[in-house]
Amino acid sequence: MSADLHDALLAHIQEKKKTEKQQKVLEAAIRLFAEKGYANTSTAEIALAAGVSEGTIFKHYGSKDRLLLAIILPFFREMLSRMVKEAVRETFSSQTTLEQFLRGFITHRAQYLAEHRDIFRVMFKELVYNNELRDELKAYAAEQLPAALTPMFNRFRLSGELGDLPADTALNLTAAFLGGFFVMRFLFTDRAAISEEEIGEAVRFILNGLRNRGA
Amino acid sequence: MSADLHDALLAHIQEKKKTEKQQKVLEAAIRLFAEKGYANTSTAEIALAAGVSEGTIFKHYGSKDRLLLAIILPFFREMLSRMVKEAVRETFSSQTTLEQFLRGFITHRAQYLAEHRDIFRVMFKELVYNNELRDELKAYAAEQLPAALTPMFNRFRLSGELGDLPADTALNLTAAFLGGFFVMRFLFTDRAAISEEEIGEAVRFILNGLRNRGA
Amino acid sequence: MSADLHDALLAHIQEKKKTEKQQKVLEAAIRLFAEKGYANTSTAEIALAAGVSEGTIFKHYGSKDRLLLAIILPFFREMLSRMVKEAVRETFSSQTTLEQFLRGFITHRAQYLAEHRDIFRVMFKELVYNNELRDELKAYAAEQLPAALTPMFNRFRLSGELGDLPADTALNLTAAFLGGFFVMRFLFTDRAAISEEEIGEAVRFILNGLRNRGA
Amino acid sequence: MSADLHDALLAHIQEKKKTEKQQKVLEAAIRLFAEKGYANTSTAEIALAAGVSEGTIFKHYGSKDRLLLAIILPFFREMLSRMVKEAVRETFSSQTTLEQFLRGFITHRAQYLAEHRDIFRVMFKELVYNNELRDELKAYAAEQLPAALTPMFNRFRLSGELGDLPADTALNLTAAFLGGFFVMRFLFTDRAAISEEEIGEAVRFILNGLRNRGA
DNA sequence: AATGAATGAGGATTCATTCAT
DNA sequence: CATGAATGAATCCTCATTCAT
C-alpha cells in the first residue's frame, strides 16, 4: 500500500469514464468494505456481489489495495476541497457570524456524510486500522487545510467571537467534538441524517465551549 | 466470535494465574494488534514475538478470537466498573461541583488510558471494525452505566450546574467530545500522557458548552 | 459434513463438465482414499498426486468433505438406481425364475463393483467409519429400495420360489451374505473380478439357504 | 504402527495388572474409538473422558498406536483362541452334529461380540481402514485357524453333513455370511443381543446353503 | 474488455508427543 | 506415578493475483 498511496493522493486525476462493470465493482466494494472492513472482505466476494469476474477487478484496479484507494481518495479530496472552499469564501465574506458559519459548516458536512455514509465508514475504519493510510491522509490534510483555515480563524478572532483561545486549541477542541459527533452518528449508530435541532445543539455547544473563557 | 462473546462478557472471571508464557503471549498480542490491527496480525507473528510456539497460544486461548477477547474484555469491564464507582461516589458526596467531578473524571480516564494505551488502541480499532463486538460492548455498557449515571446527573441538574439541557443530550454532547478527545490523543497521535492544562481546557469547553443555553 | 450431505444426496445433479484438472483431482482422491482412507489422506497429498495446486481442489470442491461426497454420492445413487431398475424389470417379466434373477443381479453388481473397485472401497470404508454418512445413506436407501423390492419379492413368493420365509428375513439373510461376499472379495482381498463359477456357488448358497425351510 | 504390531501380536503377553487410571484410559479409548474411529479421536479427548492427564496415556501406552493395539489385540487373540478351542473340542467329540456345532458356534460368537460390542466396532473399523493392521491380523488368523478347522471340517465331510463342497469353499461361503451377519447387527445397527430365533434362521440358512448341492 | 481456472504463499487450528516438576 | 505446559509439524482452508482463452 505504500508507493502507490502517495502518488495517488497527489494525482488529482483521472476520473476516466468508468464502464458499467467498474461502477458495479466500486459499489459492491464500498458496501462490503463498509460493513465488514477491508481486511475481512475478499475480492471474490466483491466480484460476486458486483456480478463480475474476479479478473475484471484486477484488470481495472490492479490490486485490492488500489481499489480501496479508488474509493477513499476521491471522497477524501472532495471533502477537503469543499471545506477549503467554504473557509475561503467565509474569510472574505464579512457579513457572516461564527455561529452562521458553524451551522452551515456542520450542515454541509452532515449532508455530505449522510449521502456517502458507506464511503465514510470505509474511510474511517481504514483510517483507524491502517497507520500508513492515516499518516498519508493526515499529511495531505495538513498541507491543504491550514492555508484556508488560518485566515478564517483570524477573522473570527478579530471579530471577538473566538474568545481568547489560541487558534489551534480552538481547532482541536472543535475537531475533537465534531469528529466524535459524526462518528457517533454515522458509524456507531446508523443514522440516515442529522436533524436541524441536533445541529443547533452542536453549534451552541461549540460556541459556548469556545467563548467565555475564564468566566 | 458470537456465542463466546456474550458468555465471556458476563463471566466476571477467573484471572486464573497465568504462566509466564501466557503473559508473554498477551503482551505480544496487545502490541501487535495495537499496531497493525487484529486482522493484519497472524498468530505466527504473535508466537514469534512472544518467544513461544504457535501451539501454546491455542492451548491457552483456544482461538485467535478468544485471545482478542482476553485482551479487550477485562480492560473494558474494568474501565466501566471504575466509571460506575466514580459516578456512584459522586452521587452521594454533595460537596463536589460538576467542574470538580469532570476534572477528576477526565484525569482518571486519561491516566487509565495512558497506562493502557495499546489495549485502548486494540479495543477502539476492533470496536470500529467489528460490528458484532461493538454491539455486544454497547449492550453491556447500556446495561451497566445508566443506573449509575442517571442519579448523578439528577444531582447536578438540581444544583443548577447543568443548565436546562435534557440529561441524555448533555451526555451525548459530552461523550462525543470526550470520545473525540481521547481518540485524537491516544490513537491518532501517540501521546504518552495528557497535561493538566489540556484537561483544564477540556473541562472548561464542556462546562461552558453545557451551560448558558440560549444565551 | 452434515447440512451438505442431505442436500447433496437429494440433488440428482449437475455433472457440470469437469475440467481436466478437476478430473485428475477426483481420480487421485479416489485412489488415495481407497488405499489409506479419507482421514489418513491429506489434501496436500491429493494435490501432489493429481499434479495440481492445493488451491485448485478447494476452488472446485469447497472442502475435503465435499470432495468425498463428490466421489461417493454419484456412485451410490447410480448403484441404487440400477438395482431399482433391475427389480422393476424383474417384477413385470414373468418368465424369469428367482435363480435367473439372482444370477443376473449378482453378476451385474460384481461387474459394477469390479469396474469401480476403488470407489467401492472408499464408500465402504467411510460407511464403516462415518456414522453420519452411514445414516444418511441408509435413509436414502430405505427410501428408494422398498418400493421396488417388495413387489418383486411378492412375485417370487407367489411363484413358490421363496419358501415360507417372511420377505424381510429373506432379504436380510441375502443381504448379509452378499455384503460379506463382496466386501471379502473387493475390500479385504484385491480381486479384479469374480468368476462365473464363484457366482454360481453364491447363487446356489442363497437359493438353498432360502428354500427347504424346516426340512 | 509397523514394527510394533508384529511383535505385539506374538507376545502373548503380559496382562500386567492395570492401575485404575490405565483401566479408565482403556475404557474411554474404546468408547471413543468405537464411536468416531481411531483417526478422528484425539488423545486429548481420551484423556478428558478418562479423567486423566494426557501425559498419563503416553506413560502407559507409549503412543496412540500402541493404545489401539492394546485394545484390539487381546480381544482378537481371545476371540481366535476360543474359536480354536471350540473347533478342537468339536473335532474329538463325535456326538454332535454340524447343526449343533453351528448353533453353538454362532451363539458363542454372538455372546462374545455383544459383550464387547465397542471393541468389536473398534477392531472392525480399523480392520477396514488400516491395511497394515488388516494384513497382520489376517496373517495371524491364517496361522492359527487352519490347524484347528481342517480336522473339524474333515469330520463333517466324512459324516456327510457338508455335501460335496470343497472345505475352503464351504468356509468362505459361511464366513462371508457370518461376517455380514454380525457386522450388520453389531456395527451398522445397534443390537444389544441376537435372539435364539435369529440364530436359528442363520443356522438353517447356512446348513441348507451348504447342503443339497446340484439339486 | 471479460472471464474463470489455476496458483502458491500464508493463515488459523489440531494434535501426538515430550519433559520438567 | 501423575501432571499439564509446551512444542512444532502437519492439516484444512483462504485469498490476492495471474494468465490463457
Type of residue at C205 = F
What confidence score (pLDDT) does residue C11 get? 60
B120-169 tens-digit pLDDT: 999 999 999 999 999 999 999 999 998 898 888 888 888 877 777 888 88
Cβ neighbours of B147 (radius 10 Å): 11
Contact D205 C209 (CB under 8 A): yes
Q: Is the pLDDT confidence value at C62 over 60? A: yes
Instruction: Report the share of chain B in percent with pLDDT over 90.
Output: 68
Does residue D215 lie within any of the structural domains? Answer: no
Q: Give the contacts of D36 (CB within 8 A, at least 6 positions apart).
A: C131
Q: pLDDT-based confidence at B101, cuts 50/70/90?
A: very high
Phi-psi region of C12 (alpha: psi -120 to 50; beta: other; left: phi over 0): beta
Does residue C83 lie within any of the structural domains? Answer: yes
- CATH no. for residue B94? 1.10.357.10
Q: Do chains D and A touch (3 or more CB pairs under 8 A)?
A: no
Cβ neighbours of C105 (radius 10 Å): 19
| Phi/psi at D11 (5° precision) | -70, 85
Does residue C194 lie within any of the structural domains? Answer: yes
Q: Could you say which residues of chain D have pLDDT below 70?
A: 1-17, 212-215
Domain that holds residue D45: 3-210
Instruction: Report the share of chain C in percent with pLDDT over 90.
Output: 67
**Residue of B65, B118, B128, B168 to mutate for A, most A C-beta atoms under 10 A:** B128
Is the distance from CB of C77 to CB of C11 less than 8 angstroms? no
The structural domain count of chain C equals 1
Does residue C168 lie within any of the structural domains? Answer: yes
DSSP C31-86: HHHHHH-STT--HHHHHHHHTS-HHHHHHHHSSHHHHHHHHHHHHHHHHHHHHHHH
Q: pLDDT-based confidence at C215, cuts 50/70/90?
A: very low
Cβ neighbours of B190 (radius 10 Å): 9
Give the Cα separation of D198 and D90 in Å (integer).
23
D63 beta carbon to strand E: under 7 Å = yes
What confidence score (pLDDT) does residue B7 get? 66
Chain A residues 186-205 with a CB less than 8 Å from chain B: 187-188, 201-202, 204-205
Does residue C153 lie within any of the structural domains? Answer: yes
Lowest model confidence (mean pLDDT) among A158-167, C38-47, C110-119: A158-167
SS3 of residue D152 by DSSP? helix
Question: Higher model confidence: residue B139 or residue C90?
Answer: B139
Q: Which residue has the cell 445397527?
A: D189
Is the distance from CB of D25 to CB of D51 less than 8 angstroms? no
Does residue A215 lie within any of the structural domains? Answer: no
End-to-end CA distance of chain D: give it in Å, rounded: 50
Nucleotides on chain E that have an atom closer than 7 A to a protein CB are 1-20
Does residue C41 lie within any of the structural domains? Answer: yes
Per-residue tens of pLDDT for chain A, all 215 residues? 555 666 666 655 555 567 788 899 999 999 999 999 999 999 999 999 999 999 999 999 999 999 999 999 999 999 999 999 999 998 887 778 889 999 999 999 999 999 999 999 999 999 999 999 999 999 999 999 988 988 888 888 888 777 778 888 889 999 999 999 999 999 999 888 999 999 999 999 999 998 855 54
Confidence (pTM): 0.89
Cell of D14: 503380559
Instruction: Tell me which long-range contacts B105-109 makes (C-beta under 8 A, separation of at least 24).
Output: B106/B178, B106/B199, B106/B202, B106/B203, B107/B196, B107/B199, B108/B82, B109/B83, B109/B178, B109/B182
What's the mean pLDDT when you consider all of chain C?
Answer: 89
- Say how far C7 CA is from F11 C1', in Å: 26
A157-201 tens-digit pLDDT: 888 777 778 888 889 999 999 999 999 999 999 888 999 999 999
Give the Cα separation of C199 and C194 in Å (integer).
7
Does residue C215 lie within any of the structural domains? Answer: no
What confidence score (pLDDT) does residue A37 get? 96
What confidence score (pLDDT) does residue C2 get? 56
What confidence score (pLDDT) does residue D5 get? 65
Q: Would you call B212 an interface residue with chain A, using a CB distance cutoff of 8 Å?
A: yes
Give the Cα separation of C39 and C28 in Å (integer).
15
Instruction: Tell me which long-range contacts D49-57 makes (C-beta under 8 A, separation of at least 24).
Output: D50/D21, D50/D24, D50/D25, D51/D24, D52/D21, D52/D24, D52/D25, D56/D21, D56/D25, D57/D25
What confidence score (pLDDT) does residue B69 get? 96
DSSP A137-163: HHHHHHHHHHHHHHHHHHHHHHTTTTT
Contact D179 C184 (CB under 8 A): yes
The residue among A65, A25, A71, A69 whose CA lies nearest residue A49 is: A25
Cell of C78: 447410480
